[in-house]
A and B are shown apart, each in its own frame.
Chain A
Amino acid sequence: MSKHALLIEDEPNIIEAIRFILSRDGWRVSTHDTGADAAEVIARTDPDIVILDVMLPGRSGYEILDELRADAATRDLPVLMLTAKGQERDRRLAERAGASRFMTKPFSNSEVLAAMREMVGP
């Protein structure tokens, strides 16, 4: 069965592009576009991996990640953080919050795919 990736991102055109490349690569993709209820959606849909944008309406990606890491059920869930800022501070924040990987916008499609394959395994 194909692996399930949940994309939490609020830019519609980015959602469309990522959904396309992941689907072609054999992933089952679902998406969500607000921060406020993201943790709840993750719990309900039980994905194999989450791609999480840092700047989300309602709630920041760091806060969502904090909540995921505090919950035993999602403590080890692979999370790929996307951010529009590549500064050292954001990288540190993401690491401290417990991101499995960190990717800076603008990202390359092949890098995202390679990172996801590495994180979830074949």
Chain B
Amino acid sequence: MPRSALMGTRIRETRLRRGLRQVELARQVGVSPSYLNLIEHNRRRPGAALAEALGAALQIAPGALAEGAQDPLLDALREAAAAGDTIEPAELDRIEEFVGRFPGWAELVAAQHRRLAALEQTVERLSDRMTHDPYLSAALHDVLSAISSVRSTAAILAESDDIAPDWRKRFHANLHADSERLGAGAQALVGYLDTAEDEEMSLAAPQEELEAWLAARDYHVEALERDGAVPIAALIDDAPELATRPARALAGRFLHRYRADARALPLGPFTAAVRALGPDPGALAARFEVPLPMVLRRLAALPPREGLPQAGLVLCDASGTLVFRKPVAGFALPRFGAACPLWPLYQALMQPARPISRRVEMAGRMPRRFLTYAVCAPHPPTRFDAPLVVEATMLILPAESDTAPAEPVGTSCRICPREGCPARREPSILAEEF
């Protein structure tokens, strides 16, 4: 059925609702009643001028009667029908009749379909967040381990009558220890979820939008590498992930700097130099005569290609807040809240302008080694007696095969198992002490 059929049906429905007789309407717009009858039964299409006159006579916004205006609604309804999972499928062949006869209900169905899609996206995002949150994932692992032990031990005690007394005593002791550990773990989780909610929604969200957009591109913005003249605003407009105004503002700032970096260190020559000199920020900064932080950012923006380092990058401001996070496997970055004070990033923050390179070992069930380069640089002052604004940058390179002594670091105290750490600011929830 052609989509234009809708227009006639709508004209008829609207006219009847307004209590207008066909003859009257025909006279008002200057056509014969029989011609109007053909139009109303979708056998003729009115021209643009007549459609406008009909719209005016029926007090419908100009264009609302026209074919194109209804398309988004029809599309939304078709999508809803396709996504629908009802026993009786939607009558797709009568979709225009539906829209024509029940415009309000049709709008409602379409609006609910859009709302459903938006909610599904939110749920997906939240569940994704749960899966990738290092704190949650470590805490849940701990709780599950304890539960496994409790379940298995309790089943032994419940199902066998002939356990030797010393074994029985041992299993009881294990149950006791595990249940204490469970209690502590569950309490810590509840506390975490209580406080996490507000922080997550307000502070971290725009940064996460930008990070999600960058992650989808491996943190390599090809459009800016190819053509330094491409307008930043157009790039942002093309990114549906950057939905909120704060996220778009963050993206604008990030992309302007990215473009300046790419102009100073064009991908071709920079890649060639990295292949020749290795990922050595000092040597690269000397070769190109550019500031160190720029080299660190550039190294973290290399495309994922054979022979090029795949590095993580974190940036923080003078308060220690992480303002940019590019993760690298094995070096978990906290999603919010402060990171490990032993990170070379913070060591650099305390000694502005002094470049620091450190081998570190990330705490965890599977400790990993990394080579980090960190430096803190002030933003150029804009006036006298302005507050000093600094930014620290740290590049994180995987160094699995490196056996040289490495400094112990963690992600964040709450999920760090290291005992006796002089920099610890709160107890770990990993409950190693049980």
Contact = CB atoms under 8 A, between A and B. Distances in A.
Contacts of A18: 152
A60 interface: yes
Interface residues of B, number: 26
B64 interface: no
A56 to B, nearest CB: 7
B417 to A, nearest CB: 10
Interface in A39-96: 55-60, 84-85, 87, 89
Nearest to A36: B366
B131 interface: yes
B365 A108 contact: no
Contact of B178 (A13, A56, A109): A13
A13 B365 contact: no
A109 B151 CA distance: 8
A106 interface: yes
Interface stretch (B68-76, B141-149, B255-263, B353-361): B141-149
* Overall SS of chain A's interface: loop
A106 to B, nearest CB: 4
B156 A17 contact: yes
B160 interface: yes
A10 B156 CA distance: 20
Interface residues of A, number: 27
Contacts of A17: 149, 152-153, 156, 171, 174
A56 B152 contact: no
Nearest to B155: A109
B106 to A, nearest CB: 37
B118 to A, nearest CB: 24
A84 B140 CA distance: 8
B156 A109 contact: yes
B408 to A, nearest CB: 14
Contact of A105 (B148, B159, B170): B148
Contact of B149 (A13, A21, A57, A58): A13
B167 interface: yes
With a 10 A CB-CB cut-off, give which of B131, B151, B159, B365 has the most chain A CB atoms: B365
Given A11-B149, A84-B144, A107-B148, A20 B365 contact: no
Interface in B354-381: 365-367
- A-B complex: 4 closest residue pairs judged by Cβ atoms: A17-B152, A105-B148, A13-B149, A84-B144
Given A106-B144, A107-B151, 17 more contacts: A13-B153, A13-B174, A14-B149, A16-B153, A18-B152, A20-B167, A35-B366, A55-B366, A56-B365, A58-B366, A60-B366, A85-B144, A89-B131, A106-B147, A106-B150, A106-B152, A108-B155
Interface of B: 131, 137, 140-141, 144-145, 147-153, 155-156, 159-160, 167, 170-171, 174, 177-178, 365-367
28 contacts: A13-B149, A17-B149, A17-B156, A18-B152, A20-B156, A20-B167, A20-B171, A21-B156, A24-B160, A35-B366, A55-B141, A55-B366, A56-B365, A58-B367, A84-B141, A84-B148, A85-B140, A85-B144, A105-B144, A105-B148, A106-B150, A106-B151, A106-B152, A107-B152, A108-B151, A109-B152, A109-B156, A110-B155
